[in-house]
Amino acid sequence: MNRTPRPDDPPLAAALRACAAGFYPAEAAAELLIGQASWLCRGDFRDGYVDVGTSVTDGTTLMASIDWPAAITALDEGGLPASGGERRMLRLAASLADGIPVDLRDAFTGMDTANVDRAVCAMLHASGRRPGRH
């Protein structure tokens, strides 16, 4: 797996968006993690579960994908220690991106206002109702 750039380095956000482009649930998951930011700031997450490469189509577009099943397994087994809010956001993103089941009652209970707003925007985006583009 390739070492990934820091999330505040625009290429990582752009690479996540490029890889997800065209599939609303994947786009929503990418935006959820970009907006929430804590997972993408963690070296253990970036280096262990984010793979960066170039597009097979043009060979130059930077793309990044997340190994969602491995990340959730690590989260469940204690390999990715996290706060309750971080756990909830990662689970929501994994569910959107890869269909990994999430308990919505647990996910939204105790979530702070900023993350609730991010999650609602992600759900709208996943359904094709991209916020700000009505």
Query: What is the tens place of the pLDDT at every residue in 50-90?
Result: 999 998 888 888 999 999 999 999 999 999 999 999 999 99
Q: Is the pLDDT of residue 7 over 80?
A: no
Buried b (16+ CB within 10 A) or exposed e, 116-133: eebbebbbbbbeeeeeee
Average pLDDT across the chain, whole number: 89
Going by C-alpha positions, the residue among 53, 66, 49, 64 that lies closest to residue 19 is 64
Residue 107: is it exposed, middle or buried by C-beta count within 10 angstroms (0-12/13-18/19+)? middle
Determine the pLDDT at residue 108: 93
The helix (H) or strand (E) run that includes residue 64 is: strand 62-66
Q: Is the pLDDT of residue 47 over 70?
A: yes
Q: How many residues does the chain have?
A: 134
- Alpha-carbon distance of 49 to 3, in angstroms, equals 10
% of the chain with per-residue pLDDT over 90: 73
pLDDT in tens, 118-133: 999 999 999 998 755 5
Going by C-alpha positions, the residue among 89, 99, 82 that lies closest to residue 122 is 89
- Taking only Cα atoms into account, the Rg of the chain, rounded to an integer number of angstroms, comes to 14
- Alpha-carbon distance of 12 to 38, in angstroms, equals 14
